[in-house]
Structure 1
Amino acid sequence: MSDTQVLLSGLAFGESPRWHQGRLWFSHWGTDEIIAIDPQGKSKVVARVPTALPFCIDWLHDGRLLVVSGREGLLLRQESGGELVTHATLSHLAPIWNEIVVDGRGNIYVNGGGFDAPGVIAVITPDGTVRQVAEGLAFPNGMAVTPDNKTLIVAESHATCLTAFDINADGNLSRRRVWADLAGLAPDGICLDSEGAVWYATVPGMCCVRVKKGGEVLQRIQLDRGCFACMLGGQDKRTLFMLAAEWHGFEHMMDQERTGKILIANVSVPGVGWPS
């Protein structure tokens, strides 16, 4: 904790952090809020969504906000007037949906599956087509796409590994393989840096860890509570934002005190790829 600073406290559960237009945006689980916070710690509710959790965010290339409404199986899109409309329906592919990443070609990847069901990944292509592109994942969480748009990496929490797929020209995924075995630590949110390493957040490990392909640990930032997600941002993409909270199980997510925080640490290698 000595290398970190508190940017914001008093949260329920922060998730899905994204660096966008000079601010950190994130989903405030347990409320219906999407919040943006500037580097000085000034925060603002920028949108409200019709669900409590899970919901995660990213953007279309034209700047419109996308929101995964997880329990409803919907991908929502915010229009210029602020209203949320349905961009795609996902409920026919899985009962609950979680994380999202939009790659550099405009393909939208969303994962889900349910607590006791095998996880899946769906793609929504720029023409609006929705299809499943991966299955059999062990509780998929954070996802990231490499800067060349050739590889998607997904955190498999219950398999304690990072899994990689090739991204084909049509948006389909192929050549599934273990990108890094995390030695029993369950990964949640992830982000990429310019040396090809992945930062991953882990709730049971109460830390944020930087690993290279194969699983070698390059850096670890230990926290005093579970780390749910991380994102590299700031003016030079060298600020690591870590969203953390005390964890007492899914059954207590809505009735516990607000122990959520956003913590920041300076790192030497900038972030790249998607989400940004």
Structure 2
Amino acid sequence: MGQGQPATRELTVVLDGFSFLECPRWRDGRLWVSDFYTEKVVTTDGRGGTEVVAEVPGQPSGLGFLPDGRALVVSMRDHRVLVRDEAGELREHADLSGVVSGFLNDMLVDERGRAYVGNFGFDLMGGGALRYTTLTRVDPDGTVTTVAEDLGFPNGMVLLPGGVLVVAETFAGRLTAFDVDDDGGLHNRRVWAQFGETPQTGDVGEAVQLLEVAPDGICADAEGAIWVADALHDRVLRVREGGEVAEEVPAGTGVFACMLGGDDGRTLFLCAAPSFPEHERRPVREAQLLAVRVDVPHAGLP
């Protein structure tokens, strides 16, 4: 794996005073983002103004949009995907409790409205043993299908031009790619980028010590590179297929998701917090939304 030099780019604070921000999505001039422990989805114009657009008692996470513009929102703790109507009301879009036991996590919604949803696979916050898990597809009519198995904490996802879905496997230390079939199925699984050795342990603490990169939220740019939030090492990495790290941007704090947006697609938004454990984040309001300007604009989904 090649290693890009840390970049001297200026980070600015867009928002602060949140609990734990995740799953940023840029759409129609605004950034949508979930705040786990205030149970709110908020939007911002990137200049400091905010609006609460959804309240999700089951804890919001992954976000995406149907072809008609309605938002889909993951409700983590009750294993549901919700849809937000034009009036801002939420209702159930799909119930994944029959196929998923762990908390739901990030989500990617494609141009046809098919949602790919990851899950924890084990009780991360409660100290459970690390277990690999599945990726679930929710079709526009709410049908639920398991489309991939044996994933090491499937987290952020991107859909690259050409129909390649890449998922971050946080506890496997890699990005894994699939080709997407016309019917939404996934095939031709391969490693898109591997960061060091995959930990061979069920002990989360040991795995954390072994991971060279813990890929969390991700987004893609117009050169086919992927920006990766490294959840353990206070940075974002710009990675090319094969694993070359073209650039590293230190954040000085934990970074758990990233998204390219802004008027020209060259503002990289970072979801930052001092750490990720729930017992540390829930009682305080130390999470921030940061931004840094980069050279190559956004491409693909989300």
TM-score, normalising length: structure 1: 0.94
Where does residue 116 of structure 2 map in the other structure? 109
* The one of 146, 170, 181 aligned to 2:160: 146
Greater displacement, 123-132 / 33-42: 123-132
The structure whose RCO (Cα within 8 Å, separation 6+) is larger is 2
Where does residue 206 of structure 2 map in the other structure? none
Where does residue 29 of structure 1 map in the other structure? 36
Amino acid at match of 2:288: K
CA distance in 2, matches of 1:200, 1:49: 27
Where does residue 15 of structure 1 map in the other structure? 22
- Is it true that 1:244 corresponds to 2:257 in the alignment? no
CA distance in 1, matches of 2:172, 2:120: 15
Where does residue 68 of structure 1 map in the other structure? 74
Gapped runs of 5+ residues in structure 1? none
Where does residue 4 of structure 2 map in the other structure? none
* The one of 40, 52, 57 aligned to 1:50: 57
> Secondary structure of 1:111's partner?
strand
Greater displacement, 43-52 / 204-213: 43-52
Amino acid at match of 1:254: R
Gapped runs of 5+ residues in structure 2? 1-7, 123-129, 197-211
Q: Do the aligned partners of 1:187 and 1:202 also contact (CA within 8 Å) in 2?
A: yes
- Is it true that 1:204 corresponds to 2:232 in the alignment? yes
CA distance in 2, matches of 1:121, 1:5: 34
1:126-178 Cα distance to aligned partner (Å, 9 max, x none): 34332100011001110110123x11100000001101011011100011111
Q: Do the aligned partners of 2:170 and 2:215 also contact (CA within 8 Å) in 1?
A: yes
Amino acid at match of 1:128: G
Greater displacement, 74-83 / 194-203: 74-83
CA distance in 2, matches of 1:169, 1:267: 34
Number of paired residues? 272
Shift of 1:248: 6.0
Where does residue 99 of structure 1 map in the other structure? 106
CA distance in 2, matches of 1:247, 1:113: 17
Amino acid at match of 1:170: D
Where does residue 125 of structure 1 map in the other structure? 139
Q: Do the aligned partners of 2:81 and 2:93 also contact (CA within 8 Å) in 1?
A: yes
- Structure in which a larger fraction of residues adopt strand: 1
Amino acid at match of 1:83: E
TM-score, normalising length: structure 2: 0.86
Where does residue 88 of structure 2 map in the other structure? 82
Q: Do the aligned partners of 2:235 and 2:250 also contact (CA within 8 Å) in 1?
A: yes
